[in-house]
Chains A and B, each alone.
Chain A
Amino acid sequence: AQTVTQSQPEMSVQEAETVTLSCTYDTSESDYYLFWYKQPPSRQMILVIRQEAYKQQNATENRFSVNFQKAAKSFSLKISDSQLGDAAMYFCAYRGYNNNDMRFGAGTRLTVKP
Chain B
Amino acid sequence: KAGVTQTPRYLIKTRGQQVTLSCSPISGHRSVSWYQQTPGQGLQFLFEYFSETQRNKGNFPGRFSGRQFSNSRSEMNVSTLELGDSALYLCASSLLGPVNEKLFFGSGTQLSVL
Contact = CB atoms under 8 A, between A and B. Distances in A.
Chain A interface extent, by class:
20 to 34
Nearest to B56: A100
B99 A97 contact: yes
A103 B42 CA distance: 10
Contacts of B92: 45
B48 interface: yes
Interface residues of B, number: 26
B99 A99 contact: yes
Interface string A56-97: 000000000000000000000000000000000001010101
Contacts of A16: none
Contact of A101 (B45, B100, B105): B45
Interface of A: 33, 37, 42-47, 50, 91, 93, 95, 97-107
Nearest to B108: A43
Nearest to B48: A100
B56 A106 contact: no
Contacts of B100: 33, 97
Contacts of A97: 99-100
